[in-house]
Amino acid sequence: MGCLIILTQQNLIKKVIGINVMETSIFLFFLAIGNIIPGGPPIVRPGMEEVIYVNPLPQALILTGIVVSFSVTAFALAITVSLYRFYGTVYVDELMKMR
Amino acid sequence: MVLFPLICAFLMPIMAYFKKEVCSYITLAITGIVFFIASYLAFVVIPGRSFVFHIGHWEAPWGIELVVDPLSALMISTITAFCFLIALFSIKTVRMEVPLDKTGWYYTAYLLLLTGMLGLMLTNDIFNMYVMVEITGICAVALVLARGTKEATEASLKYLLLAVIGSGFILFAIGFLYSVTGNLNLDYIAAELGLVKEYYPYLVWTAMGFFLVGFGIKAALFPLHLWLPDAHSSAPYASSALLSGLVVKVYIISLVRIFYQVFGPDMLTGTPMGTLILILSSMAIVGGSIFAYTQLDLKRRLAYSTVAQVGYIFLGLGLGTSWGLVAALLHVVIHAFMKVGLFMVAGTVYFQTGKKNVLYFSGLGRIMPVSMGAFTIASLSMIGIPLFGGFISKYALAQGSMEVEGYGFVALVVLSGLLNASYYLPIVWQAFFTEEKRETFHLDMVPLSMMAPLLAVTLGLVYLGVTPGRMMTMVENAASVLMFGP
């Protein structure tokens, strides 16, 4: 879905949002994989060690992914700003014509 | 060893604060040191042994492993060697192209890129691989952006967006693999996958496909190459050399690693994947060359040539035989030599004459004989003439095609040699043989720091073409480890 946004939207800002949507959806996918139905949050409290908890590994991976996604978004926005300064527009159609 | 460039990269902006001119020399020193370490590791591994290092002393499968096997050793020595040479080259060109106050940041990105690539080659953990892919990708975009011109900004945004889509696909594929195997270490994934493969055939296919698309976007496999011409032509010369020669390659090698180590070589021939790769790569070879012919800007022409060469490498992969793999790996190394050399020539020409359009190259041979000589050697190698490196990889490719009785591919390889000639030789011809009223031979008026790496690369190319023995053993080691297990 995020892919579609990136590819079809004309407004550059929306494209960047599209990246975010796509990355977030992938993270949700990861989360969904790690879920076990009767599980609770993976925090171990003294005296309650045997409770089934959700696999914590995907959460670590997703955390890394969120960091990456955030920095990429920041970078993309910075480039967009600089493009705006050059061309005065954030619409890809007009950019193409102005080349 | 991977940490060393990383730490230095962070120190770089601090340096830049105090003294702007020193950055490039420090980078040079750092890349030199890294190169020595990498070569030492490569020598250790040549007899075919591997060498595993656990981060934080957590044993696998809980910890992340770094592995130096023949493939990694080959790649890290190549990467570090070229980063060193390009760092040397960039001392002057970066001063020319990048605004002065940004030079420190440029080298920060440069060193981070080196870190990312080395990490990518050495890691044995699939998520670490993803992290390294991201590091490399973002730094590569930063290096493209360095010039700050309109085209560079546009090109870098395009690159960034497409690279992010690629990363998304890769992450998705990693998710699939994790959901089926529950492991992150490449060897363990392979073991698990062998056990569960029959239960989830569609999932495995999907994962492979996503990996192919994801890495294909980043490696510029046709038709996912659309970002490449713009990015490589509007980047500073040192960045273009790096990007074209090394960065796209590391992504291909990672894909190779995933396909061979995790999925196993029989997956390529057993599924439609192999055929798909073959089709795409053939289109890349032909399409890239045809597009290259029409370009007038030298850097764009070289960029399209990279698209075609990446096609060659994928062709070697798609064949699924051991010669094919050898050919692909060989071409990775040799093309690095060729492309870096070509981009360096483009840089020296621009430095001396300010020209970028191929039509204006007439008579250059007389004022810049060394550069154009290097260009000629690299072009002949691209075409695949014997005595130069390119011939070795083309020959291996043809051999691989004959193993699977794909005679069409042999014809394709030969035909593409001719296509390559069509866009390289006119430049060479013009440079040396057209009328310009210059009777005397001058030597290039280009600083030594630019000529030296160019000469080193060209000599390396010729050396490899004439005596490929040592490199062949390294590559064959690498290929056999990949195909048949350590």
B120 within domain boundaries = no
In the predicted model, is pLDDT for residue A37 greater than 50?
no
Q: How far apart are CA B103 and CA B93, in angstroms?
A: 11
ipTM (interface predicted TM): 0.72
In the predicted model, is pLDDT for residue B382 greater than 60?
yes
Q: Indicate the pLDDT class of residue A91, thresholds 50, 70 and 90.
A: low
B interface with A, Cβ–Cβ < 8 A, is: 127, 130-131, 134, 138, 141-142, 145, 148, 150, 153-154, 156-157, 160-161, 164-165, 167-168, 171-172, 175, 178-179, 184
B135 within domain boundaries = no
Report pLDDT for B104: 63
Domain that holds residue B481: 267-486
Looking at the complex, report in whole angstroms how far the Cα of residue B227 sits from the nearest Cα belonging to chain A: 13
Mutate to test the interface with B, among A8, A14, A59, A61 (most CBs of B within 10 A): A61
B8 within domain boundaries = no
Task: Indicate yes or no: CB of A29 within 8 angstroms of CB of B168.
Answer: no
Task: Cite the DSSP H helix spans in B220-368.
Answer: 228-234, 237-242, 248-257, 266-270, 272-294, 298-319, 322-353, 364-367
Task: Indicate yes or no: CB of B145 within 8 angstroms of CB of A79.
Answer: yes
B451 touches B444 (CB < 8 A): yes
Give B184's contacts in chain A (Cβ within 8 Å). 57
Give A58's contacts in chain B (Cβ within 8 Å). 178
Task: Indicate yes or no: CB of A83 within 8 angstroms of CB of B160.
Answer: no
Mutate to test the interface with B, among A72, A80, A86, A94 (most CBs of B within 10 A): A72
- The residue in chain A having the minimum alpha-carbon distance to the alpha carbon of residue B165 is A3
Task: Indicate yes or no: CB of B160 within 8 angstroms of CB of A76.
Answer: yes
- The residue in chain B having the minimum alpha-carbon distance to the alpha carbon of residue A55 is B182
User: Which among A22, A68, A82 is the nearest to B153, CB-wise?
Assistant: A82
User: Which among B131, B148, B154 is the nearest to A64, CB-wise?
Assistant: B131
Task: Indicate yes or no: CB of B127 within 8 angstroms of CB of A61.
Answer: yes
Task: Indicate yes or no: CB of A80 within 8 angstroms of CB of B145.
Answer: no
Report pLDDT for A64: 78
Domain that holds residue A46: 2-98
Please state the pTM of the whole predicted model: 0.78
Looking at the complex, report in whole angstroms how far the Cα of residue B241 sits from the nearest Cα belonging to chain A: 22
User: Which among A19, A57, A86 is the nearest to B150, CB-wise?
Assistant: A86
Give B167's contacts in chain A (Cβ within 8 Å). 68
Q: Indicate the pLDDT class of residue B408, thresholds 50, 70 and 90.
A: confident
CA B129 to mean position of chain CA atoms:
17
- Residues B108/B110/B115/B119 CA torsion (nearest 10 deg): 140
- Assess A13–B contact: CB distance below 8 Å, yes or no: no
Q: Indicate the pLDDT class of residue B2, thresholds 50, 70 and 90.
A: very low
Residue B51's φ and ψ, nearest 5 degrees, are: -150, 120
Q: Residue type for B320, please?
A: G
In the predicted model, is pLDDT for residue B35 greater than 70?
no
Give A93's contacts in chain B (Cβ within 8 Å). none
Q: How far apart are CA B330 and CA B84, in angstroms?
A: 21
Count: domains in chain B: 1
Q: Which residue would you say has higher pLDDT here, B12 or A23?
A: A23
Report pLDDT for B1: 45
User: Which among B141, B167, B178 is the nearest to A33, CB-wise?
Assistant: B178
Give A87's contacts in chain B (Cβ within 8 Å). 150
Report pLDDT for B306: 80
What confidence tens digit (pLDDT) does each residue in A6-29 have?
A: 554 445 566 666 666 666 666 666
Looking at the complex, report in whole angstroms how far the Cα of residue B156 sits from the nearest Cα belonging to chain A: 8
Q: Where is B66: in which H helix or E strand?
A: strand B65-68
User: Which among B165, B172, B175 is the nearest to A6, CB-wise?
Assistant: B165
In the predicted model, is pLDDT for residue B134 greater than 80?
yes
How would DSSP label each residue in A27-62?
HHHHHHHH--TT-B-S---TT-TTS-B--SHHHHHH
Q: How far apart are CA B256 and CA B325, in angstroms?
A: 9
Mean pLDDT of A41-65: 62
Report pLDDT for B218: 78
- The residue in chain A having the minimum alpha-carbon distance to the alpha carbon of residue B142 is A75
What confidence tens digit (pLDDT) does each residue in B109-119 have?
A: 777 777 777 77
- Assess A90–B contact: CB distance below 8 Å, yes or no: no
Check residue B236 and give left, alpha or beta (phi > 0: left; psi -120 to 50: alpha): beta
Count: domains in chain A: 1
Q: Residue type for A98, please?
A: M
- Assess A86–B contact: CB distance below 8 Å, yes or no: yes
Task: Indicate yes or no: CB of B164 within 8 angstroms of CB of A76.
Answer: yes
Least confident of A5-9, A42-46, B222-226, B284-288: A5-9
Task: Indicate yes or no: CB of A19 within 8 angstroms of CB of B164.
Answer: yes
Name B367's Cβ contacts closer than 8 Å, sequence gap at least 6: B352, B353, B438, B442, B444
Looking at the complex, report in whole angstroms how far the Cα of residue B168 sits from the nearest Cα belonging to chain A: 6
Q: Of the spans B121-135, B350-364, B426-440, which averages the highest pLDDT?
A: B121-135
Mean pLDDT of A51-65: 67
Give B134's contacts in chain A (Cβ within 8 Å). 68, 72
